[in-house]
Amino acid sequence: MIRKYSSSLLIVLMTCIFIFHFAITLFYNFPLNPISNQYNLQIQNYMNPLFTQNWKLFAPNPVSANNMLYIRGNYTDKYGEIKQTNWIDATTPFNMAVHNNRFTPVRLVNSTRSSITTELLNQMDGKKDYLEKIEPNKSVELIILNRFSSKVLNEIYPNYKFVDIEKKIVVNVFPEYGKGKETEKNYEYNLPKQVFDLPKT
């Protein structure tokens, strides 16, 4: 009797664990939505690094492009005049940090940034007027990306009084092996300007 009860309890427990893991994995792989956005930190902590999903090895079309996020800020100087920073690479330093240490907390930030830029590119590829019609203050992707960009600028220039931020995604398409005389191509997508907005703590 006890053995039968223990077996039933084990089955119920394993079923609950499976359902929980399956649900978290779904939210991890789904496009950004209100639920995954709200619990993004918890989802990323559960999935990384043991359950990270990466299908590049098995993809029929191997990756042939790099997506880079560049940002620059407009700020007021001590005379009240509007000045502008140079374009800053907000991708490479994070990628290097993750490559050097797979367990770094930066991995979560970098994964979110990468997911958002990929999602935006997918939307722009499907709808040519996507950026013209999007409302920056209502787009979850742009709000998160803007806060990420604001934090990066604030860490580089802590004494600057930023007003707003400009962002662009640069897609570097490199020729695939065996494709003849194809050359590298760069495509730039300027995202809507947004007000400087640090992440809420």
For the entire predicted model, the pTM comes to 0.68
pLDDT digits (tens, 9 = 90+) for 23-41: 777 776 666 666 666 777 7
Q: What is the pLDDT of residue 147?
A: 95
pLDDT the model gives residue 36: 66
Please write down the HEC assignment for all residues of the chain.
CHHHHHHHHHHHHHHHHHHHHHHHHHHHHCCCCHHHHHCHHHHHHHHCCCCCCCCHHHCCCCCCEEEEEEEEEEEECCCCCEEECCCEECCHHHHHHHHHCCCCCHHHHHHHHHHHHHHHHHHHHHCCCHHHHCCCCCCHHHHHHHHHHHHHHHHHCCCCEEEEEEEEEEEEECCCCCCCCCCCEEEEEECCCEECCCCCC
Structure confidence by residue, pLDDT tens digits, 135-179 = 999 999 999 999 999 999 999 999 999 999 999 999 988 766 555
- Segments making up each domain of the chain, as ranges: 1-54, 64-195
